[in-house]
Amino acid sequence: MTQFPELADKAVLITGGANGIGAATVRMFHQQGARVFFCDRDSGRGEAFARELGASANFRTVDLTAEKEILEWVKSIKAAVGSIRVLVNNAGRDPRIPFLETSAQQWDDLFAVNARAAFLLARECAPTMPPGASIINLTSVTLYNSPQQLVAYVSTKGAMLGFTRCLARELGSRRIRVNCVSPGWVFTERQLRDHLNDDALRLIDAHQCIPDHIQPDEIARIILFLASDLSAAMTGQEILADRGWAHS
């Protein structure tokens, strides 16, 4: 793997880091020698993963719908390391809910996890982020293919795209970069368990330009690129990592 010395010993904060894309991202930054701080609601998986990685990986169970827990988590990280070099807003939920059956509470809860948490984390991290720091948000290819029963989820991802573009402008004078990654259908453990049936596989085969199934570590490598100095000229940008689905 390419090494990025600018990330060694730097603090990296990752949400939803116990599983899927988040876990692949935690592992990749850990391999770079970064001090990785990650949260998840899956405390058992998160604690076991942190033990596996060792002392430079720090896990905390955080309810991302609770502002107080987010603020306390960021405060504890700053107390330990001073500043955060990279923030990866990865955590998110994607429940399938028919639009006419979507309650206001379900809508609000999804925005709290998928969008409001990213706002709170960026707001709390940015004041002490150094020049060259990077915020990376996760959006989705569903912004372009508009699947059914995902109106609330896709709306949160549209919000994250707008958030990315405006925040890049807002933080540019501090030389903090803000970009986002829009993955296609990634073959995470949860997707394999809950959503990847024969119909879904046929849909993927029909729409991806390249038929290979996307793996979590492929998305993690793009996140690593956006955190590194290789992408120093990029801010306010979206990278579609979907094997060409959005253009089919």
pLDDT, mean of each 10-residue run, the chain (248 residues): 94 97 97 98 96 96 98 98 97 95 97 98 98 98 92 97 98 98 88 73 88 95 98 98 87
The CA–CA distances, whole Å, from 67 to 61, 87, 99, 166, 193 equal: 14, 17, 27, 22, 30
Question: For position 12, what pLDDT does the model report?
Answer: 98
From first CA to last CA, the distance across the chain in angstroms is: 31
Which residue, chain included where needed, has tokens 């070099």? Answer: 85
User: Which position among 153, 163, 185, 245 bears the catalytic label?
Assistant: 153
Question: Whole-angstrom Cα distance, residue 238 to residue 222?
Answer: 11
CA-based nearest residue to 130, from 185, 87, 92: 87
153 as an active site residue: the answer is yes
- For the chain, domain boundaries: 5-247
DSSP 67-101: HHHHHHHHHHHHHHHS--SEEEE---------GGG
pLDDT of residue 127: 97
pLDDT one-digit tens code per residue, 58-109? 999 999 999 999 999 999 999 999 999 999 999 999 999 999 999 999 999 9
pTM of the model: 0.96
> Which of 46, 39, 47, 33 lies closest to 85 in space, CA to CA?
33
In the CATH hierarchy, which top-level class contains the domain 5-247? Answer: alpha beta
How many CB atoms neighbour CB 173 within 10 A?
7
Q: How would you list the strands of the sheet with 177-183, edge to edge?
A: 57-61, 35-40, 11-15, 86-89, 134-138, 177-183, 238-241
Q: For CA atoms 191, 63, 16, 51, give the dihedral sign.
A: negative
